[in-house]
A and B are shown apart, each in its own frame.
Chain A
Amino acid sequence: MREITLSQAVNEAIAEEMRRDETVFLMGEDVAEAGTPFKVLSGLVEEFGTQRVIDTPIAEPGFVGLAVGAAMTGARPIVDLMFGDFLYLVMDQLCNQAAKQHYMSGGKLTVPMVLRTNLGATRRSAAQHSQSLQALVAHIPGLKVAMPSSAYEAKGLMKTAIRDNNPVVIFEDKLMYQDKAPVPEEEFLIPFGEANVKREGSDITFIATSSMVQVAEKAAEMLAADGISAEVIDPRTIVPLDEATLIESVKKTSRAIVIDEGHQSYGVTSEIASRLNEKAFYHLDAPVLRMGAMDVPVPFSPALEDITVPTPEGVAENARKLCAGDMIHAA
C-alpha cells in the first residue's frame, strides 16, 4: 500500500469531501494562499477557489461564529484553528453555541461543523502554542472529539467528521504532519467510537491517544524484550469512547496505563482510568495508571520541555513496575 504523510492524508480527505459535497467549505487563517503554516492545505484553493477556501482575518471568535451560523443554515464548514491553544478564544462559539443548538432548538437545528486544530508539545513553541486541550472540549456534551494517531486515521476520521451532523473537533498532532503511514487509495471512512487495537498483548494494556500511540508502541517494543506482552489500543475518538473494547482488553490483561498528552490532572487519562475502575474493577490486578503531560505550562527550554510529556522509556518503566506488583503512588 502506498504511504503518505499525515498532512497529505488530511488534504486528501478534505479535497475528496469538497468534491463529493459542494456545501463543504474551508475557512481559517492562512488556509488559502499559505495553505496553513504546516502546508497541510496546500493546493486546495487552486482546485476549489477562494469561494470555498476562505482566508479569514486574525479573529478566531468571529470566523468560528460565522462557521456555526453557516452550519445552522445548511453549509458544512471546516474551520481551521491554527493552534489548539486558540480554543480559549472560541469557547463561547464552540461550547455555548455549536454544542447546544441542536438540543436547544428541539432538534430543529444541526451544526454540521468541523473544527480542525492541533495539539502537541516538544516543537519549541512555548507555553501558548504547545498545549493539548482535548479534555477541555471533551467535557462539553454536544461536541465530538477525534484524535487521529496516523495518516490513515487522519484521513478516515476527517471524512467521517465532515459527514457528521454534529460539531466535531479534530486534533492533529503538529509534530506528526510529516509522518508517513500506509493509506489506501480507494475511499474509506473510520467510524467514530470504534477503538483500534494496534498491537495485541496479554500482560498490560496501553490506551493511548494521538501521538501517544507511537509512544505506547515503542514502549511495547521495549517491554517485549523483557518478556512483557503489552497491548496497545487507540480509541481514535474520545467522544464517543469505545468503552467496550477498552474494558475487554483490561479484563484480559488486568493492568492498564492510559497515555494522553494533555495535562494529567482532570484530563482524558483520568476519565478513561475512572471508567476502567468503575467497570473493570474486579479484573484489575494493579491500579490503572494515568500518564499525561506534567501539570505545568509547557516550557520553552528544550531540555525542560522534553521531560514534561510521556516518553516510551517512562511508559515502559511504569509498566514493568505494574507487572511486578510494585506499588506506584500508592498509599
Chain B
Amino acid sequence: MQRDVTMPQLGMAQDAGKIVSWLKAPGDAVAKGDALFEVETDKATMEVEAQAAGFLTGVSASEGEDVPVGAVIARISDSAEDDTPAQTAAAPAAEAPADDLPDGHSVTMPQLGMAQDTGLLVGWLKSPGDAVAATDVLFEVETDKSTMEVEAGRDGYLAATLAQAGEEVPVGGPVAVISEAAPANPVARSVAKAAAAPAAEPVPTRPQPTPEPSRTAQPAAPQPAGGRILASPKARRLALEQGLDLARLAKAGYPQPYHVRDLDTLRSLPAAASAAEVGTASRRLVAEVPEDGLPGFTAWAAGVHGLSDADAILAALAACSMPVPGPVSVERQGQTKTYALPAGRGLSDAMETDDAPALILRDLRGSRLTSVEMGGEATPALTLTPKGDGLTLTLECAPSEMDATDAIQLLSDFAGRVEQPLRHLL
C-alpha cells in the first residue's frame, strides 16, 4: 500500500513550507516514525516523520523548494522500485478549486496533528456572502485530539463554502473561498458533491454522522505478554476501587493469579515506572536562532536591575512563551531549579517553587552536544544546544501533553525571546 507524504501545515497562516533538507534518500527503507525531511516556516524548523513503514519513493520536491501545504512531495511504497513520481500535487491550497467557483483565495483544512489525514468540520460561523475580516473565525474543526477555530486569514467575502457541518475534509483540501469583491452568487456545497462529478441537479447531502476516530490519542495501556491478567474477582474489584493497576504487578514479574493479598505488594511497588506510558509517540520540534541573546541580557539585567539569578530569567522567558504558563525547571549540569512566574508579573518576579514543572528547560549551552532526541518524558522538555554563535532549540513532548499548535507557538515565541530578549520587554 502506498502512502503519500504531504507538506504539513505547521501554522494557521501558513500556505507553504520550505524543505530544508531531506533526511532520507529516494529508495531508502524507512520505519514509521523516521524523520523524512525538515521543514522551515517563519521561525520553527520541524522534522516530518514517516507515517508508515516502507520505502521512500517518488520524491518530487527538492531541498530549498517552497512547497504548498498539502502538496504530495513523496510516497512511502512497498518497494524501492516504485518510481512513478508523486503527483506534484495540484496543491489544493494554492489555487482555488476549478469549475464554477468564484475567484478568490482558498481556505484549506489545516493539519492540526502530524498523524492527521482529515478534519471534521464541526460547523460554520459565517454564511456564504458574508464579509469577513482576516481574524474572523470561519469554521470549527475537530480532530481526534481537539476542536479548533479556523480564521479567514485575509479580509474579503466568504464567496464559497465547500464542505458542510459534519463532513470530513482531507488535510489541505479546500473548505472555503475568500474573494476580494462581494460575490455575485455565493456558493455553498458539500464535500460529497465536490467528490461526485458536477451533478446536473443539486443533490442535497445530509451531514454524515461523526465517524469513529481512526486513532486514539493515548497509547494503548501496556499489556503483559500473555494478554489478560489473571486475578480474583475481589482483587480486581478492590484494585479498581483503589485505583491500583494490576498490570504493574505483572510487569514487575510477580506470578499470577493475583489475590487480595497481592494488592499489598502492588501498593508497595515504587510509584514511578510510568515513563513507558508517557508518550511513546513524541513531538519533536527544532528551532534555530542565529544569535544567543541571553548572556548579554542577563548581564544587563544583573548590572542594571540587580537580577543576579540568570536561571530565573531564563525560566521566566520560557514561562511567558507557554500557551498556559506553568512552573519551569531549569536543568544545568545535573542541577535543577524550578521557578514559577505569577500570572501577569514581570521577569523579575520569577520565584523558586517546589511544584512539579510543566516544562523542563535543559540548558546544554556549555556542552558539546549539538542535537538531542530524548524521546518520551513525563514532562515536555525544551533543550538548548549551541550552534555557532547561536542556539538550537529542541522541544520534545508527548502529543497528549501539548497539541501541535501550542508546541509550535511555545517554540516560536521562545526562539524569538532568546534571540532578542529585550524585545520581550516591549
Contacts and interface: CB of A to CB of B under 8 A. Distances in A.
The 6 tightest CB contacts between A and B, nearest first, are: A285-B234, A285-B232, A325-B259, A282-B237, A285-B260, A284-B233
A283 B257 contact: no
Chain A: interface size category: 10 to 19
Interface in A275-331: 281-286, 325, 327, 330
A254 B261 contact: no
Dominant secondary structure at the A interface: loop
Contact of B234 (A283, A327, A330): A283
A60 B260 CA distance: 53
B175 interface: no
Nearest to A286: B232
Interface in B184-241: 232-237
A284 B238 CA distance: 11
Given A283-B234, A285-B259, A286-B232, 15 more contacts: A254-B232, A254-B234, A254-B260, A282-B233, A282-B234, A282-B236, A282-B237, A283-B237, A284-B233, A285-B232, A285-B234, A285-B260, A286-B259, A325-B259, A330-B257
Nearest to B259: A325
Contacts, number: 28
28 contacts: A254-B232, A254-B234, A254-B260, A281-B233, A282-B233, A282-B234, A282-B236, A282-B237, A283-B233, A283-B234, A283-B237, A284-B232, A284-B233, A284-B234, A285-B232, A285-B233, A285-B234, A285-B235, A285-B259, A285-B260, A286-B232, A286-B259, A325-B257, A325-B259, A325-B261, A325-B262, A327-B257, A330-B257
Chain B: interface size category: 10 to 19
Interface of A: 254, 281-286, 325, 327, 330
Interface of B: 232-237, 257, 259-262
Contacts of A286: 232, 259
B255 to A, nearest CB: 9
A281 B232 CA distance: 9
A281 B261 CA distance: 17
Contacts of A284: 232-234
A284 B235 CA distance: 8
A284 B231 CA distance: 10
Contacts of B235: 285
A24 to B, nearest CB: 48
Contacts of B234: 254, 282-285
A326 B355 CA distance: 45
A330 B256 CA distance: 12
Contacts of B233: 281-285
Nearest to A284: B233
A165 to B, nearest CB: 41
Nearest to A282: B237
Nearest to A324: B259
A319 to B, nearest CB: 14
Contacts of A283: 233-234, 237
Contacts of B261: 325
A282 B232 CA distance: 8
Contacts of A330: 257
Contacts of B260: 254, 285
Contacts of A327: 257
Which of A281, A286, A330: most chain B Cβ within 10 A? A286
A75 B257 CA distance: 58
A282 B261 CA distance: 15
A281 to B, nearest CB: 5
Contacts of A254: 232, 234, 260
A327 B231 CA distance: 11
